[in-house]
Structure 1
């Protein structure tokens, strides 16, 4: 049986409103000097929808931030899950771990205000986010392929902690030179973590 026309129209309107809100929120956060001050009412007004529409679509402000963040992160996620080296699954695990962390770090550096707003939103915002669970699971699965890695679950959490938005902001500031230095430091740290579990050599 064909879907009733009013229901189809309602669903299309909802999808269109959701996309309009995400695009508007993206622009507002990019321009704002204090993204933590942006309210749901501000975003609803700018998007031309009722505040109730935002709450129905995203639940709360943290839900909206997560949806926007995950939309921006999607191309990197696709590259990490099915793309070519260095992020893709064909890369040796000792090389893939630093590459994955560098991609996350660069994303945080390029999306500082949004990342800070999300991770400071309270209620365990970062750790409840779908993208965090996905990255943690991916890193853990890569670490599990490294011989001698005894606690890949904790190690994945510890490595991701080095890319927290507040730490990235503290260490990198607004200087391009600091950005490259931070990338090099993280690569060195991740390299030491995976190198401390070398593949076993054959015995004579």
Structure 2
């Protein structure tokens, strides 16, 4: 029994930290503005608590994005909602890319911060290898797709946070326009018929 309170406190603090970070990244002008001190103050916890729990700012950003993206990865890997069990790879691939795109559009500064955790390249960020491997494995199950490793890189490049931020912020491309463009691009790569409007139904 005595151990339950610390665990509950830790879970409550973690939720508060994630909520505070979500808000700060959504409201900032640039992701670099958001500091560990800002997040700690907004969450009502000590800065030391953040460093003990996440190591550093990059660790916190990775943990937050992992929590937000976990339902997407589970749906694609396990065929859980919104995908049905047994959903074939040709449907899982565009669903994965659409979900990632929506996340990066809706959480632009957080996504930029995440890609900035890869030192000199977003491709060196820890999360990238996991998403690339998942997409590559799905592509390998689709007849007609050659070089699934490179194709996975090319498709993920179309969802890069800096590209999404540029198109949305400077070119005024809407969320639904981006989804339809990505769906058509993906269909062309996979050799499947693009279903205009299907990406915007959810």
> With structure 1 as the length reference, what TM-score do the two structures score?
0.79
Matched, 1:31 2:23: no
User: Is residue 142 of structure 2 the alignment partner of residue 128 of structure 1?
Assistant: no
Question: C-alpha deviations, 1:94-128, integer Å up to 9, x for none?
Answer: 33322221121112111112111222345256643
Please report how far the alpha carbon of residue 177 of structure 1 lies from its aligned counterpart in structure 2 after TM superposition: 5.1
SS at match of 2:159: coil
In the TM superposition, what is the alpha-carbon distance from 1:84 to its structure 2 partner?
A: 5.6
Q: Deviations over 1:179-203 (max 9, x none)?
A: 333222222221121119xxxxxxx
What value does the CA root-mean-square deviation take over the aligned residues?
A: 2.7
Shift of 1:63: 1.1
Decide which of 157, 161, 174 is 1:178's aligned counterpart.
Answer: 174
Structure 1 unpaired stretches of 5+: 197-204
Give the distance between the partners of 1:59 and 1:113, measured in 2 at CA.
21
| Residues 12-47 of structure 1 deviation map (CA, whole Å, 9 limit, x = unaligned) | 433332222112212222222333201111111222
Question: Which one of 3, 10, 13 corresponds to residue 6 of structure 2?
Answer: 10
> Cα offset for 1:139?
1.2
Q: Give, in angstroms, the shift of residue 162 of structure 1.
A: 0.9
CA shift in 2, pair 1:154/1:108, >3 Å: same
Larger Rg: 1
> Is residue 62 from structure 1 mapped to residue 58 from structure 2 by the alignment?
yes
> Unaligned stretches of 5+ in structure 2?
193-202
C-alpha separation between the residues in 1 aligned to 2:170 and 2:113?
Answer: 17
Matches of residues 57-136 of structure 1 in structure 2 within 5 Å? 57-83=53-79, 87-88=83-84, 90-123=86-119, 124=121, 127-130=124-127, 132-136=128-132
TM-score of the two chains, using structure 2 as the length reference: 0.80
Q: Find the counterpart in structure 1 of residue 158 from structure 2.
A: 162
> CA distance change for structure 1 residues 66 and 38 in 2, over 3 Å: closer, same or farther?
same
Aligned residues: 191
Cα distance in 2 between the residues matched to 1:57 and 1:114? 19
Q: SS at the partner of 2:53? A: helix
